[in-house]
Amino acid sequence: MTPPIEYGTVIRLSPLVRRITQNNPGLYPGPGTNTHLIGTDDLVILDPGEDRDDGHLDRIVAAVGAARVAAVIPSHGHPDHWPLATKLAARVEAPIGFFGNHPGFRTDLSLGDGDLVTAGRLTLAAVHTPGHLGDHLSFLLEDEGALFPGDVVMGWSSSIIAPPEGDLGDYLRSLDRLEAIPNLTVGYPAHGPAVTQPYHRIRELRAHRAMRTRQVLEALDAGPSTIAAMVATIYRDIDPALHPGAALSVRAHLLHLERDRVVRHSGGGPGWESAVWERIG
């Protein structure tokens, strides 16, 4: 049994992993941002969360206690993950690690694919997993077969892929890369409870995208179409308030199919509203 999400409590997930969930639920953070503290006397802290006046910072600092913090690392540059990084890093006197640079904070420790972050005897391996966002890093804690997949592999939802920052082809390749890591026993995502069957979940997420791709192609089999018309068909059973997000997802699938020369578009407009898509393959 994996512990449910609780706000403001330090939840022990394993001998080396603790989780504090920020009370910031919403469309993107879903049930809230999970801040993970990894290690015992020496720690790495993933995803500090949002900078709001809710005690999250104090709770993280209290959970750190007398431990040394080797790095504070936002998994990617979305605003539910990084804004607390600067204040937290100052409080626990640690560098901020990140993939490349971000305009919102200073990166002390530039991390790339395959880089190792060490804290005492603890080692985390960075895996570059773009798709949700180009700067997204996942982390592997080999000692526990634990994967920290950020927003790429979550149990409660698929990832939002919003072009141009999001890229479905990159996302699918990132799933392949994570699936190829041997001996994973658990995933600790940045939102929602632990993923207890990581390989199974990765395959489900891939199958979900394949289903959406089929639906987009079926919609186009009826003739050339705009994204809005495709969304109205494919998502007719969901709340129209979610249709703008669905339109981004359909766009991500279309751009991926266009790169593979299966579809093409004419026209456009800033939000692709007037683009007409058709099947060519």
Give the residues lining the site for Zn ion (CB under 5 A). 78, 151
Q: Which is closer to Zn ion, CB of 151 or CB of 167?
A: 151
Residue 160 C-alpha from the chain's centroid: 8
* Nearest to Zn ion of 78, 128 (CB atom): 78
Nearer to Zn ion by Cβ, of 120 and 134: the residue is 134
Pairwise CA distance, residues 266 & 178, whole Å? 36
- Give me the sign of the Cα torsion angle 69, 190, 129, 268: negative
**Minimum CB separation from Zn ion for residue 132, in Å?**
6
Question: Using CB atoms, what's the residue nearest to Zn ion?
Answer: 78
Least distance in angstroms from the C-beta of 76 to Zn ion: 6
Q: Residue 7 or residue 28: which is nearer to Zn ion going by CB?
A: 28
Please give the single-letter amino acid code of residue 81: H
| Shortest distance in whole angstroms from residue 80 CB to Zn ion | 7
Query: Minimum distance between the CB of residue 82 and Zn ion, rounded to whole angstroms?
Result: 10
Given the complex with Zn ion, which of 13 and 190 has the nearer CB atom? Answer: 190
SS (H, E, C) the chain: CCCCCCECCEEECCCCEEEEECCCCECCCECCCEEEEEECCEEEEECCCCCCCCCHHHHHHHHHCCCEEEEEECCCCCCCCCCCHHHHHHHHCCCEEEECCECCECCCEEECCCCEEEECCEEEEEEECCCCCCCCEEEEEHHHCEEECCCCCCCCCCCCCCCCCCCHHHHHHHHHHHHCCCCCCEECCCCCCCECCHHHHHHHHHHHHHHHHHHHHHHHHCCCECHHHHHHHHCCCCCHHHHHHHHHHHHHHHHHHHHCCCEEEECCCCCCCCCEEEECC
Q: In the bound complex, what is the minimum distance in angstroms from residue 275's beta carbon to Zn ion? A: 26
Closest to Zn ion by CB, 101 or 157:
157
C-beta closer to Zn ion: residue 78 or 212: 78
Least spacing, CB of residue 265 vs Zn ion, in Å: 27
Shortest distance in whole angstroms from residue 78 CB to Zn ion: 3
